[in-house]
């Protein structure tokens, strides 16, 4: 292997390099015959140089000659080596381009979603405002055209299930002294033939006519004029009858942020509402009678329907139902019950998961005289 390498090196040394560098470096190491042979080679080389008119280059050291040879070898190897395509920059550019493209898509998608939510929310706010304004206009119109008057008791006034007279401090005796209300429904029936009565709750904004239809869905999105309106209207449970009161009569309405419909019913949880005993009564006027109700329970509860029962198989079941409602109350109203009592329920939303509920029992009524 060494001999082959040496031969390759020597084959690439020029005659001048042999004459000027290699031979002198080997003189001291050669024998006499070898020196003679070298001299003959020198003579031959000199003759060839003269014939070829070769111009001698400056003398070089052995180190320079070898460096030149190896440099030439390395150059040849490099030339023979296949060039690899430099794809890294291209790959990097494509990767960066893809990353930028993905980032742009994400940003644009987020932007579109954000704008979409903003537009949707804006539209909903505008629609809510339009519906609320329409509702307020209807309430104002009703209050201007409908006569709601308080009436004193007459011989026809009936006290319902009074407590024992041995309990003179019972607030019942104060409540039954309050006047009933009487409403002229003539104009209301011309506007909406579903009109069934009028509801008034002290300490709140609730002072509206109420309606009834064949289900509990229609008036969730219809106003008193039967036009589409997210405010809806106050309505009586379709299962109930105002002509012959059930054991549990139920009224519903939306809890509007602006306080309309049952939006102010949550006022019942304020201490000043409870402290004013005048707030503990509810007044109803229907086409057939005027009634007064004493509040006995107010509470909030996760959405359930267990307080919406209207039919009971026995007196015991009804009294158990009433005790359940009393136990839920945030306040103690000191109200007594018997199996012949009738109750009124007001129900509305507090939020998506909870309800605000008020219950009252009938304490006084008067049959209406035909106008």
Task: Indicate whether 196 and 88 sit together in one domain.
Answer: no
pTM of the model: 0.69
pLDDT of residue 30: 47
Are residues 157 and 213 located together in one domain of the fold? yes
- Which residues participate in catalysis according to the annotation? 349
Check whether residue 210 and residue 325 sit in a common domain.
yes
Q: How many CB atoms lie within 10 A of CB 35?
A: 13
Looking at the fold, whether 284 and 213 belong to one and the same domain comes out as yes
pLDDT at 54: 46
**Among residues 80, 101, 120, which one ends one of the domains?**
80
State whether 24 and 124 are in the same domain: no
Residues 126 and 250 in one domain: no
Residues 171 and 114 occupy one common structural domain: no
List own/partner pairs for 149-156 with CB under 8 A and 24 or more apart: 149/181, 149/182, 149/183, 150/179, 150/180, 150/181, 150/182, 151/179, 151/180, 151/181, 151/182, 151/290, 151/366, 152/179, 153/179, 153/180, 153/364, 153/366, 154/366, 156/366, 156/367, 156/369
Using the 3D structure, point to which of 124, 145, 166 is the last residue of a domain.
145
Residues 7 and 47 in one domain: yes
Whether 212 and 343 map to the same domain: the answer is yes
Q: Which residues contact 346 (CB under 8 A, 6 or more apart)?
A: 201, 206, 250, 251, 252, 262, 265, 282, 357, 358, 359
Q: Identify whether residues 140 and 206 lie together within a single domain.
A: no
Claim to verify: residue 244 and residue 363 sit in the same structural domain: yes
| Average pLDDT per 10 consecutive residues for the chain, totaling 371 residues | 53 57 52 57 61 52 62 63 53 59 73 76 74 92 94 94 78 92 96 98 96 97 96 98 95 95 95 93 97 98 96 97 97 93 97 96 91 57
Domain boundary among 145, 168, 193: 145
- For 135, the domain range is 84-145
In this prediction, residue 126 carries a pLDDT of 75
Instruction: Tell me: do 279 and 327 sit in the same domain.
Output: yes
Number of domains, the chain: 3
Check residue 55 and give its pLDDT.
47
Q: Which CATH number does the domain housing residue 226 bear?
A: 2.40.260.10
């Amino acid at each position: 292997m060494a001999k082959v390498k040496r031969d390759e090196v020597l084959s690439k040394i020029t005659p001048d390099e042999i004459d000027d560098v290699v031979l002198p470096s080997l003189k001291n190491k050669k024998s006499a015959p070898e020196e003679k042979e070298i001299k003959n080679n020198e003579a031959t080389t000199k003759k060839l140089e003269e014939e070829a008119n070769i111009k001698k280059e400056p003398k070089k050291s052995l180190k320079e000659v070898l460096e030149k040879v190896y440099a030439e070898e390395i150059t040849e190897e490099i030339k023979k080596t296949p060039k690899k395509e430099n794809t890294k920059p291209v790959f990097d550019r494509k990767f960066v381009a893809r990353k930028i493209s993905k980032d742009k898509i994400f940003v644009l998608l987020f932007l579109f979603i954000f704008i979409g939510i903003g537009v949707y929310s804006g539209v909903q706010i505008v629609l809510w405002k339009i519906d609320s304004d329409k509702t307020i206009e209807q309430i104002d119109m009703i209050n201007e055209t409908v006569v709601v008057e308080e009436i004193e008791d007459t011989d026809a006034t009936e006290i319902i299930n009074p407590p024992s007279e041995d309990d003179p401090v019972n607030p019942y005796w104060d409540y039954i002294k309050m006047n009933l209300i009487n409403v002229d429904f003539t104009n209301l029936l011309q506007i909406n033939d579903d009109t069934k009565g009028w509801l008034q709750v002290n300490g709140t904004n609730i002072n509206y006519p109420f309606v009834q239809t064949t289900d509990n869905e229609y008036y969730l999105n219809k106003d008193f004029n039967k036009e589409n309106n997210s405010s809806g209207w106050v309505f009586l449970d379709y299962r109930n009858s105002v002509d012959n009161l059930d054991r549990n009569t139920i009224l519903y309405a939306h809890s509007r942020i602006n306080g309309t419909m049952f939006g102010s019913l949550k006022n019942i949880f304020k201490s000043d509402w409870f402290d004013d005993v005048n707030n503990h009564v509810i007044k109803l006027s229907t086409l057939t009678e005027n009634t007064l109700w004493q509040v006995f329970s107010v509470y909030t509860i996760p959405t359930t329907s267990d307080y919406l029962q209207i039919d009971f198989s026995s007196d015991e079941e009804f009294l158990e139902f009433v005790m359940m409602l009393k136990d839920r109350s945030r306040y103690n109203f000191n109200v007594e019950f018997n199996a012949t009592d009738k109750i009124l329920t007001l129900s509305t939303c507090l939020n998506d998961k909870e309800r605000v509920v008020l219950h009252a029992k009938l304490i006084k009524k008067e049959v209406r005289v035909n106008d």
